[in-house]
Amino acid sequence: MPEPIPDTHLIAIATLGERLAPLRLCDAAALAAVRDSLERYGQLTALTLFGETDQLEILDGFKRVRAARALGWTRLLARIDDVDAIEAKLRVAALHDRRGLTELEEAWLVRSLYRDDGLGQPEIARRMRRHKSWVWRRLMLVESLEPAVQAHVRLGLLAARAAVAVSRLPRGNQLAASTVVVRRGLTVRQTDALVQEVLERDGEEARADLLARRLDALDTQPGLRAPRAVRGEADAMALDVARAHAIAARLETRLLASPLATFTPGAAELLREALRRLAPVLRALDAVIGNTLGQKDAA
C-alpha cells in the first residue's frame, strides 16, 4: 500500500457505502483486470468518496474496492469530495463522459436523477450538458426495459448493448427474448437479428410462438462448438470438475462485483435464498473431496 499523498486518506473499505453502485456495471473481466493490477502494482489511483449523512459513499472506484475485498485488503487510499448525492451522480457522468458508460448505465443515471432526486428533464439536460432529446431517449430506454432483463445485465448474463436491442420489443416479449439470448449465447449482432425477426411477426401470439421455438430449438447455434463426447467415467468426472471450477470462479466474481444490496428487494431475496440452498451442497462436496484426497494420500 503506497503512502498517502496530500488530500488523501487511508480509509477502511468495510465502512464505505455503495449507494451509487446500482448505476454502474462491473463485468467479471474488468474486475479481474483491476484485481491483477492491485496485486502486481498496488493502488495507483485513489478512490473518490463523498459524504452522505454519517456515511462515506463511493463516487468512483467500485471495482478497486471489490478487487481489494477479494484480495483481503482492509484499507485503500481515498479522497473525499465535498458534494451532495446529486452532484456525485453528475460527477459519475462527467468522469466517464463519452467513454466507459454504456447507454444503459447512462439511462440508470438519468432515471435516478429524475425519479429519486426530482430533477426535471430540462434541468438534467442542462446539468449534464446534453440535449433534452438525449435525456428523453435514455429515460425511455430504462422505463421501457423489463426489470428482469435489466437484472440479466447486472448479473453479467446479458451484454448492455444486447439489452438495448431487446428494449425495442414490446415488454411482454422482452424477458423471453433475453432468455433466448442468454441460453443460446447470442452475440449483439445475432440479438439485433432476433429482435428484428420478432418485430416482423404480426401479433403477440406470433411473436411469443417464435421466441418459444427459438428457446426450445435443439440445433447448435452457428459458431458454437458441439459438446465433446464423453468417453468414460473418468472423462465425465474431469469435465464436471472443470465445469464446477469455472462456475465457482464466475459466481465468486459476480458476488464480489454485485453485492445483494445493489438489486431490487425481490431479486435480492431470491438470490439470498438460492445461496442458502447452495451453501450446504458446497460444504458436502468439500467434505467428499477432502475424503477422496485423504484416501489417496493414505494409499
Domain assignment present for 34: no
Q: How wide is the angle at C-alpha 239 spanned by C-alphas 236 and 242, nearest 5°?
A: 155
Q: Which of 33-47, 188-202, 254-268 has the lowest mean pLDDT?
A: 254-268
Domain assignment present for 271: yes
% of the chain beyond a pLDDT of 90: 52
pLDDT of residue 5: 54
272, with CB counted inside 10 A (0-12, 13-18, 19+), is exposed
Can you state the angle between helices 132-144 and 121-128, rounded to 10 degrees? 120
Tally the domains of the chain.
Answer: 1
Domain assignment present for 182: no
- Torsion from C-alpha of 81, 83, 87, 90, nearest 10 degrees: 0
Domain assignment present for 265: yes
Half-sphere exposure of 66 (CA within 13 A, CB side): 24
How many angstroms separate the CA atoms of 11 and 52, rounded? Answer: 16
pLDDT at 173 over 50: yes
For residue 42, how far is the Cα from the chain centroid?
A: 25
Q: What backbone torsions phi and psi does residue 18 show, to the nearest 5 degrees?
A: -130, 45
Domain assignment present for 267: yes
Pick the closest to residue 34 from 197, 256, 232 (CA basis).
256
Could you tell me the CA-to-CA distances from 162 to 118, 123, 227 in Å, in that order? 29, 30, 25
Listed in sequence order, the residues at least 6 apart from 74 whose beta carbon sits closer than 8 Å to its beta carbon are: 12, 13, 14
Pick the closest to residue 112 from 193, 20, 29 (CA basis).
20
Q: What is the average pLDDT value for the chain, to the nearest integer?
A: 85
Q: Which of 35-39, 193-197, 233-237 has the lowest mean pLDDT?
A: 233-237
Could you tell me the CA-to-CA distances from 45 to 14, 32, 96 in Å, in that order? 19, 17, 15
Place of cell 440452498: 277
pLDDT of residue 240: 74
pLDDT at 108 over 80: yes
Q: pLDDT tens across 156-172, in order?
A: 889 999 999 999 999 98
Q: Which of 178-182, 211-215, 258-262 has the lowest mean pLDDT?
A: 258-262
Please state the rounded mean pLDDT for residues 198-221.
81
Parent domain of 283: 240-298
Q: Which of 104-108, 141-145, 178-182, 251-255 has the lowest mean pLDDT?
A: 251-255
pLDDT at 286 over 90: no
3-state secondary structure of 88: helix
Domain assignment present for 266: yes
Please state the rounded mean pLDDT for residues 281-291.
84
Domain assignment present for 217: no
User: What would the DSSP string read from start to end of 219-286?
Assistant: SPPTTPPPPPPP-SHHHHHHHHHHHHHHHHHHHHHHHHHS-GGGS-HHHHHHHHHHHHHHHHHHHHHH
Please state the rounded mean pLDDT for residues 40-69.
92
pLDDT of residue 52: 83
- CB atoms inside a 10 Å sphere around CB 69: 16
pLDDT of residue 285: 86
Domain assignment present for 143: no
Listed in sequence order, the residues at least 6 apart from 31 whose beta carbon sits closer than 8 Å to its beta carbon are: 63, 66, 67, 253, 256, 257
